[in-house]
Structure 1
Amino acid sequence: METLLDFAAGALTLGFLIVGLFFLRFWRSTGDGLFAAFAIAFALLGIGQAMLTFMEVRDEERSLLFLFRVAAFLSILVAIWRKNRQTN
Structure 2
Amino acid sequence: MMVNALLSGAIVLAALVAALFFLRFWRQTRDRFFLYFAVAFVLEALHRLLWALAPQSEADAPQYYLIRLASYGLILLAIIGKNRAPPR
TM-score class, shorter-chain normalisation, is: 0.7 to 0.9
SS of the residue 2:55 aligns to: coil
**Contact 1:17/1:42, CA 8 A, preserved across alignment:** yes
Structure 1: gaps spanning 5 or more residues: none
Counterpart CA distance in 1 for 2:45 and 2:32 is 20
RMSD value, Cα: 1.7
* SS of corresponding position for 2:51: helix
Over 6 Å off, 4+ runs: none
Contact 1:20/1:38 (CA < 8 Å) preserved in 2?
yes
How many residue pairs get matched? 87
SS in 2 for 1:37: helix
1:7 paired to 2:18: no
TM-score (norm 1): 0.87
Residue in 2 that maps onto 1:79? 78
**What is the CA distance between 1:79 and its match in structure 2?**
1.6
- Tell me the residue number matched to 2:40: 41
Contact kept, 8 Å, 1:45 with 1:72, in 2: the verdict is: yes
Amino acid at match of 1:38: F
Tell me the residue number matched to 2:20: 21
> Structure 2: any 5+ residue segments left out of the alignment?
none
Within 2, Cα distance between the matches of 1:61 and 1:27?
34
1:51 maps to what in 2? 50
TM-score (normalised: structure 2): 0.87
Deviations 1:5-50 (A, max 9, x none): 1111111111111111110000000111111111010000000000
Amino-acid identity (%): 34
Partner of 2:29: 30
